Structure 1
Amino acid sequence: MRIAIVTDAWAPQVNGVVRTLTATRDELIAGGHEVLIVSPDRFPSVPCPTYPEIRLAFARRSTVGGMLAQFGADAIHLATEGPLCLAARAWCLSRARPFTTAYHTQFPDYVSARTGIPAEWIWRYIRWFHAPASGILASTPSIRATLVAHDLPQVRHWGRGVDLAAFHPGAAPHPALGHLPRPIQLYVGRVAVEKNVRAFLSGTHPGTRIIVGDGPARAGLEAEFPQAIFMGALFGEALAGAYAAADVLVFPSRTDTFGLVMIEALACGTPVAAYPVTGPIDVLTDTVGAMDDDLDRAIAAALTREPAACADYARGFTWAASARQFLDALVPVATARAA
């Protein structure tokens, strides 16, 4: 099958959307499919206001549509709600071409956190964008329920995976973390207001707080919490080593749809502490993590979980299974085109 994926999120961005799309592309190609990625690096772009790491591409409907037509796509997937996917959406609708979309992030909550605009105002745009899709791919039951509650019923499941070759209990602990006061409490992800990192850094549980990642809020938080250690973005063995050296991964976000870092940490044998919100409630069990409205209590409970149980649980999340779910969601698209 020729599968076109249009996305406003792509390398060099570092986030869960990009990791999910990259892993999915690789699995699809390994399965014998042809994949076209239409991404911002192909077009002139400008930095996104308040988030310059994200590039907003300038692309006409005819340009994006020409790429899809030349590729001869059997199925078209629009991964994000940004300018490139808007152009692709307009082209598909003008030619009665079916397409799927995905709800990767709590976009209304993110925009509200950054701008103060009421989230319900943003939901009007979300409903408009996704309504014509043949299917909306979502990673958890909670997100399915959220979409259905906002009059978007055509939801299909698309789970997530973890690279078990990179993240595993045998990973060598990061040498920079070996002699720090225990327990080592780790945060991994964007350092941005919507990730609620301040809630983690404001905690009182004894030990060392480590921040892995970068983002627009880093400078302010680093100045406000000098006792915390900010390591910047880590990748590959270094990231696995950070997970392996930590005693607990703390996931303070209240706005994520899934949270890939949770299963990466679990795969390394590191339990997770989080709030009982969308994302953690769909991913964690009492065996591998703890959720509480008091993050310090969640951390204390998570520290009692067994590393072996965490690693065993994470083995149930594979990118191969995720890619099969993605393909299953595309089947009605290909069928509709043939009809």
Structure 2
Amino acid sequence: MKSVLFVTDAWYPQINGVVRTLEYTARELERRGVRVEFMTPKGFRTIPCPTYPEIRLSLTTRRRVRQVLRDFGCEHVHIATEGPLGLLAASVCNRDRLPFTTSYHTRFPEYVAARLPIPTTPFYAWFRRFHNSGSGCMVATSLLEESLHKRKFKNLMRWARGVDTDLFTPHEGSVFPVELPRPIFLNVGRVAVEKNIKAFLDLELPGSKVVVGDGPQLASLKKAYPDVLFTGAMNGENLARHYSGADVFVFPSRTDTFGLVLLEALACGTPVAAYPVMGPVDVIGKSDGGVLSGDLKEAALQAIKISRKTCRQVALEQSWSKCTDQFLANIQAADGVHSAAKSRKAA
């Protein structure tokens, strides 16, 4: 494979799992001599997404997207999101018989259901048509693969996630105020209703709670929980130091497909407490890096006892290099499927 074009509606200044996954995968691909290009909202006029103003929706046409695809001239197109750019790119690829794959990063139907009394079935029907139109749909975990298979998604491929263990590494000392009582229970991520952060904040735990992140629910939660330290969004070494300074990372989400923050916390030596649901089950599994329980309070209290060296070791087994190997194998297999289907139609 000599060149790959990533099409994504999620891009900077957003900081989320989709953006980080594409960023690290692109870095690994370039190290192997693969030319990587991106089609993102930065190349188009945009409007803010309702309820998610930091997410920009691209205003463009199929003709413009087709021209961009031709200008880049990449061998393979990978579509990471189901937004305007992703939908138009898939349409162009199908009409022009170009090989492409997709990836299922976000359980968007559940996100909508968390906000509005709307059934998930129509959204899944729409997503199924979109993802089945390509030659392969990549998923991060076995539980997600099983869930989508039951909903008749086809050509599912595993594409795991990794962690930058050079950036996310244990740091000495604490970035938290001295007067902040221990133990410190930390959550990192988007502060939004689908992340179920309120379940964490409502736990009766000793010590202190800290939330790192930004999002539409931040203002209301800060007002409702004045004893919680809300730091806002962070990245880089500063974020790693916050992971390192905490005693337990609490992950209350029930809707994430993976949860890169779980690996980042483990890489910094911080044990995880989470529900036994998609994401935590695949990341923590039967390892000794965390505690999964339907009783999140009990999980958090038990996780304190876990060795930080053990957590670090769990994270060291996950690398972006291995993930990129999977990605390359997937697109090569998908291109083979595309070529075979094209030959059958020609015959």
Alignment partner, residue 202 of structure 1:
202
Residue by residue over 1:190-235, the C-alpha shift from the partner in whole angstroms, topping out at 9 and shown as x without a partner, is: 0000000000000001110000000000000000000100001111
Task: Tell me the secondary structure at the aligned position of residue 36 of structure 1.
Answer: strand
Distance apart, 1:115 and its partner CA: 2.6
Amino acid paired to 1:245: G
Alignment partner, residue 50 of structure 2:
49
Distance apart, 1:153 and its partner CA: 2.9
Q: Which aligned runs of 4 or more in structure 1 are off by greater than 3 angstroms?
A: 333-339
Alignment partner, residue 87 of structure 2:
86
Task: Say if 2:100 and 2:335, in contact at 8 Å, map to a contact too.
Answer: no
Distance apart, 1:114 and its partner CA: 2.3
Q: Are residues 1:248 and 2:261 paired? A: no
Task: Say if 2:135 and 2:335, in contact at 8 Å, map to a contact too.
Answer: no
Alignment partner, residue 329 of structure 1:
330
Task: Say if 1:76 and 1:99, in contact at 8 Å, map to a contact too.
Answer: yes
- What is the 5 A alignment of 1:1-339? 1-169=2-170, 171-284=171-284, 285-335=286-336, 336-337=338-339
Task: Say if 2:262 and 2:272, in contact at 8 Å, map to a contact too.
Answer: yes
Cα gap change, 1:31 to 1:226, in 2 (>3 Å): same
Amino acid paired to 2:221: L
Task: Say if 2:176 and 2:245, in contact at 8 Å, map to a contact too.
Answer: no
Task: Tell me the secondary structure at the aligned position of residue 24 of structure 1.
Answer: helix
Amino acid paired to 2:185: Q
Task: Say if 1:191 and 1:216, in contact at 8 Å, map to a contact too.
Answer: yes
Distance apart, 1:63 and its partner CA: 1.1
Cα gap change, 1:129 to 1:173, in 2 (>3 Å): farther
TM-score (norm: length of structure 1): 0.97
Amino acid paired to 1:273: A
| Cα distance in 2 for residues equivalent to 1:24 and 1:309 | 26
| Runs of at least 5 residues in structure 1 that lack an aligned partner in the other structure | none
Task: Tell me the secondary structure at the aligned position of residue 304 of structure 1.
Answer: coil
| Cα distance in 1 for residues equivalent to 2:287 and 2:98 | 45
Task: Tell me the secondary structure at the aligned position of residue 176 of structure 2.
Answer: helix
| Cα distance in 2 for residues equivalent to 1:177 and 1:78 | 43
Residue by residue over 1:96-145, the C-alpha shift from the partner in whole angstroms, topping out at 9 and shown as x without a partner, is: 22210000011110111123311122111111111111111000000100
Task: Say if 1:174 and 1:238, in contact at 8 Å, map to a contact too.
Answer: no
| Runs of at least 5 residues in structure 2 that lack an aligned partner in the other structure | none
Task: Tell me the secondary structure at the aligned position of residue 47 of structure 2.
Answer: strand
| Cα distance in 2 for residues equivalent to 1:178 and 1:124 | 52
The alignment of Structure 1 onto Structure 2 pairs a total of residues equal to: 338
Distance apart, 1:41 and its partner CA: 0.7
| Cα distance in 2 for residues equivalent to 1:10 and 1:303 | 35
Distance apart, 1:178 and its partner CA: 4.5
Distance apart, 1:179 and its partner CA: 4.2
Amino acid paired to 2:136: G
